Amino acid sequence: MQSVLKWCAVGAILALTSPGFAEDEVSPPRVATRIEMEPPRVSTAPPLTVTSKPPLKAIRVEKHAFHALTNQGNPNNGQQLFNRQGLTRCTICHKVGQAGGDIGPNLSSIGGKFDRQHLIDALLHPSNQIVEGYRVTQFALTDGQITSGIIKTESETAIQFVDNQGDLFEVDVNDIEERKTSDVSLMPEGLEDSLSPEQFTDLIAYLETLRYGDVSLEDGVAGAFRAPGGFIAQTVVTGLTAAAALEVLPDGRVLISEQTGQLRMVKEGKLLETPVLSVDVERNRERGLLGVTIDPNFPESPYVYTCRIKNRPYTHHCVSRWTLDGDTIDPASELILLQGDNQAYLGGNDPASAQGGALHFGEDGCLYISIGEQTAATPARALNSLLGKILRINPDGTIPQDNPFVDRTQGKYQSIWAIGLRNPYTFAFRPGTEEAYVNDVGGNYEELNVVGKGDDAAWPRYQHGPHNDPNFVSPIYWYPQACICAGDFAPSSWPAPWGGRYFFADFVQGWVRAINPDDPSQVLNFMERTQRPVDMRFAKDGTLYLLLRNAWVFDGGFRTGTGALIAVRPSSLGPTRVAEGTSELDREWIQRRAVPLPPPQAPQQPDGRRPRRFRR
């Protein structure tokens, strides 16, 4: 009972102390007065028919949402509203560029992550979807005190957190009696009470323009692609729905997995109308049909491998092998190679997210699969769970007996090859090595890790970002939270300085970068302002295929038909094999030389402050 009262008290504290949108004082509490009640009297009047009406708040929310969906808005006015602390207070919690607070997520690229409908929902219903890493944690201390905040760093001995005023505190782990994560955002509801529908729409229009790169408000949402000179870019196909991953066949055909359960084929520059395969999946946020690859001996071994999330008999990862015959797959050819854990028992603040799902063959002929930890954290380093791991199996589903944890595990868990990952969205093997370059989605930081047999990437032992513990893998490249995805090694046929580099992209910020595997401090910008890239692959002829999703996770506001496949190729290699049926990229292509990026900076305390000790 005492614990329940503690958490009730925390809820009251959160409700009263969350930063509001208007500078109003909290009204003093009213004293309860006892009222003597008369015995109820029986009425002889006929019953009344009561017609319920929506509450005024719901009407205002609906009015603001409708106006923002049906009007463009003025981003210049929206920027002024964003910076008015006395009205919106956005800059108290959020940064854009270098200005603003550190309590909430950095919004510098929010327009690259969310489309308009999701921006509207995020502002009007802030607790519907809380960005991982920014959930409020409530602490009940051993001396009876209650406190709460957003955790910034955590070690075995102490936790540092930021409260709703932006103050940094530290508390000893031994002083914590109990802790729990709140489902209530630190950002309060009620923005519609402070802004007119027109002002709200202007604010949405401004947030929509916030994307990576030097985008002016006049550029609007689209802006322009940017890349170095000497390359040809072509739009191969459009109209893809929930694009998730791609694979290129030796003859130039391209397989594309759509999260909704369809495996599509691009042939001779055209998207075939009939899917190659339609499979049963759970369509929920990041669950669905995720990864696709082909047998290393294709077409002699005409096998296609997929990773998907099924919801029967329970929600779990399912890795399957199929036989491709021409441009179709017979569903009866499925051979299930591996079935994952029942996700219902594994927790997570947002268990339908952080699913991973990529699969690729290594040079040893084994199939490697990446599995996310569904925001549950703890299973990532447990050997009785497949979550937060890279797995390794033979092409027929058997488990290699030289896997690193075979002697410490049983059954399907013997497939574990590397541990301690959060959401390894995709990965690629460096040619000629057994080194997997793994894109691990943050955390407070996005990470690029070089992972080998039996390695531990430290999540959640260490928050994302670099560390000096020799017992764990530390990232070779990292940057503040966004969404690292898509990765492959450029062939040596690409001109200097691009050949042999590892290319990777960011879903939120829309760029493509290339890192020198021999010197990770050498990172170059290759493309900017792409529309939510999710995967890439270099074909045998040197073409780089970039898969654009241009949509957020699969939910009630999901848009269909937004995805596209782009082909990029050095002009020195001549036209692409899919040139027939393609068109030039319908955006300005600004040629410029490759620009080296500054090396990543080690994580700092917010604003360089020293944490205040939370004293008992």
Bond from prior residue into 497 cis (ω within 30 degrees of 0): yes
Of residues 419 and 228, more confidently modeled: 419
CA-nearest of 525, 588, 600 to 219 is 588
Q: Would you place residue 514 in the very low, low, confident or very high pLDDT band (cuts 50, 70, 90)? A: very high
Predicted local confidence at residue 212, as pLDDT: 64
Of residues 97 and 417, which shows the higher confidence score? 417
pLDDT at 48 over 80: no
Dig out the tokens for 543 from the structure.
Answer: 């073409």
- The more confidently predicted of residues 510 and 14 is 510
Question: Of residues 573 and 49, which shows the higher confidence score?
Answer: 573
Instruction: Give the 3-state secondary structure of residue 3.
Output: helix
Give the whole-angstrom CA distance, residue 175 versus residue 170: 11
The β-bridge partners of 321 are 305, 335
Cα 197 from Cα 77, distance rounded (Å): 13
Task: Give pLDDT, residue 599.
Answer: 65
Q: Which tokens sit at 489?
A: 């090694």
The b/e string for 21-53 (b: 16+ C-beta within 10 A; e otherwise) is beeeeeeeeeeeeeeeeeeeeeeeeeeeeeeee
Q: Give the pLDDT score at 117.
A: 73
pLDDT for residue 508 is more than 90: no
Q: Whole-angstrom Cα distance, residue 569 to residue 67?
A: 43
For residue 227, the model assigns a pLDDT of: 63
Task: State pTM to two decimals.
Answer: 0.75
Measured in whole angstroms, the distance separating CA 45 from the mean position of its chain's CA atoms is 60
Q: Which of 105-109, 169-173, 594-598 reaches the highest mean pLDDT? A: 169-173
SS3 10: helix
Query: If you average pLDDT over every residue of the chain, what do you get?
Result: 81
Instruction: Check whether 441 has a pLDDT greater than 90.
Output: yes
Maximum average pLDDT range among 18-32, 53-67, 127-141, 466-480: 466-480
Per-residue pLDDT tens digits for 163-178: 877 788 899 999 999 9
**Residue 598: which pLDDT band, with cuts at 50, 70 and 90?**
low
Distance CA 254, CA 261 (A): 17
pLDDT above 60 for 318: yes
> Over 60: is that where the pLDDT of 579 sits?
no
pLDDT value at 568 more than 80: yes
> CA-to-CA distance for 460 and 170, rounded, in angstroms?
19
pLDDT of residue 213: 55
475 close to 465: Cβ distance less than 8 angstroms: yes
For 313-328, what is the mean pLDDT? 96
What pLDDT is attached to residue 313? 93
pLDDT of res. 603: 54
Least confident of 191-195, 396-400, 477-481, 599-603: 599-603
- CA 7 to CA 139: how far, in whole Å? 9
Q: How far apart are CA 481 and CA 548, in angstroms?
A: 20
Residue 264 has pLDDT above 50, yes or no: yes
Above 60 in pLDDT, residue 41? Answer: no
Q: Could you report the per-residue pLDDT of 363-381, keeping only the tens digit for each?
A: 999 999 999 999 998 999 9
Domains of the chain, with CATH numbers? 2-21+57-214 (2.30.30.100), 231-485+547-601 (2.120.10.30)
Mean pLDDT over residues 299-328, rounded? 96
